[in-house]
Amino acid sequence: MDLHSEKILILDFGSQYSQLIARRVREAHVYCELHPFDMAITAIRAFAPRGIILSGGPKSVYEAGAPAIAEELFELGVPVLGICYGMQLMTRHFGGQVVPAGKREYGHAELQALGTPGSLFDGFFVEGKSPVWMSHGDHVARVAEGFEVVAATDNAPVCAIQQVERQLYGVQFHPEVNHTPRGELLIDTFVRRICRCSGQWTPGQIIEDAIGRIRAQVGDEQVILGLSGGVDSSVAAALIHRAIGDQLTCVFVDNGLLRLNEGDQVMQTFADNLGVRVIRVDAEDRFLAALAGVTDPEQKRKIIGGLFVDLFEEQSKLLPAARWLAQGTIYPDVIESAGAKTGKAHNIKSHHNVGGLPDYMQLKLLEPLRELFKDEVRAIGEELGLPRAMVWRHPFPGPGLGVRILGEVKKEYADILRQADAIYIEELYRSGHYDKISQAFAVFLPVKSVGVMGDGRTYEYVVALRAVETRDFMTAGWYPMPYADLARISNRIINEVRGVNRVVYDISSKPPATIEWE
């Protein structure tokens, strides 16, 4: 079975929600890819999509130089769904009119069905209404000839359109975000019913397909993999080991920026329990020396990523039969880094494991998770038999504590943070909060504040606690931790971690903040 025979193309016009569209399509068990809006029509034809989704975007379609699409796109004979900017672009293309709205619309709105909406909206409306999430400053003033208006809000008289004969659909709202309660149903209906995709993209099929591709790529050659202990590299290791067994050697680099006792836990899980060959490299001194005096977050990421590559190159020389370097690169890493290169999206952060290998490195790159989102990686991790505690562990950044220590990284800071973070996570497990939280961690702030301990004045460091709830990590809300639990966590950290006399709790959502502090 070719898992890529049924696929949806998503053209990105710069929306911060574009990845969410892809996530929702994958949740319908259909393969999709996200590409820049100016993808050449020849490349689109070669991609051979079953359907196309046009994302939202920050521009106005009537502005000079606004993002556009190839004229031939609507002549391909496949269904097209335009979301927000995508709907406006479709309207303008066919001769309709888009104008600035008298009142901008951001946030919740109630969508009202007009007449009898078509099959795309089956189950979307309840008693003719549906709550949706809006984010637009323009609206459609006149629909194009042949299009039917099927829904409106009090502020937007044209909020959903369709041209059923040509299978063209548009919605002004954002069905991909959690704030549109039945939005995932609409996207599922589009890809499964309108585009006639059968839903082959399941964990078992993904594993079977990946094993076949790994074997075809690698043959009888040797592979080394950089094992971090995080979900992505752990699942990549288990998947490759399932495919080629002893041809895989994992290199676990202890960079001095790991969580408390993490190195020993990684060795026990893989070497002892799964029978994977793992080489442990103690490189704390090298990483800390390279990071000395560096305060810029992006520079820290690049230094850490560069050192990892150098260490793998050194280890590969000790394993002369190795021809491949495997990495746990996942699809969001690829999308975000590609956006930074093309300028189609704002670069929030770079990813140290994206972008290929240096010319001098005589290894080929193996990235079996490159097409997968995090939830898909977790699902196949469970299917492969990895411990649930490892698969569902909260995300940990590739640079480790290097980007949870603000500013310069020092061993003293890392040791303090390790202890504080371990107490925090232990208490979250004990109180039953851990599995309710999407990501939680401690942050070291390189500032000191005055305190009082034992009738004496102290001048010590500050630790911030972060906990968020999210479904997709593109948007996130801070977790409402009960005061009693916060008090207990704070008390333990201040009493048990030497060098800390103040603990604060981060109540910022994403956006405007990011989940990580750096």
- Binding site residue list for ATP: 228-234
Q: For this structure, is 148 an active site residue?
A: no
- The tokens 């053209």 sit on which residue? 11
**Active-site residue, selected from the candidate residues 6, 33, 105, 176:** 176
Stated length of the chain? 518
- The type of residue at 71 is E
Q: For this structure, is 176 an active site residue?
A: yes
**Active-site residue, selected from the candidate residues 84, 159, 197, 250:** 84
Q: Which residues contact 56 (CB under 8 A, 6 or more apart)?
A: 13, 15, 17, 18, 83, 84, 85, 86, 135, 136, 174
Tokens of 62: 């009537």
Neighbours of 199 (CB within 10 A): 14
Q: Which residues contact 272 (CB under 8 A, 6 or more apart)?
A: none
Q: For this structure, is 136 an active site residue?
A: no
Give dist(CA 405, CA 297) in Å, integer. Answer: 10
Longest Cα separation, the chain? 80
Give dist(CA 174, CA 475) in Å, integer. Answer: 13
- The tokens 């391909």 sit on which residue? 76
Give dist(CA 83, CA 445) in Å, integer. Answer: 41
**Active-site residue, selected from the candidate residues 174, 241, 351, 352:** 174
- The tokens 């996570």 sit on which residue? 425
3-state helix, strand, coil in the chain (%, to 5): 35, 25, 35
Tell me the angle at which helices 411-431 and 483-496 cross, rounded to the nearest 10 degrees. Answer: 140
Give dist(CA 192, CA 331) in Å, integer. Answer: 22
Q: Any idea which residues carry the catalytic annotation?
A: 84, 174, 176
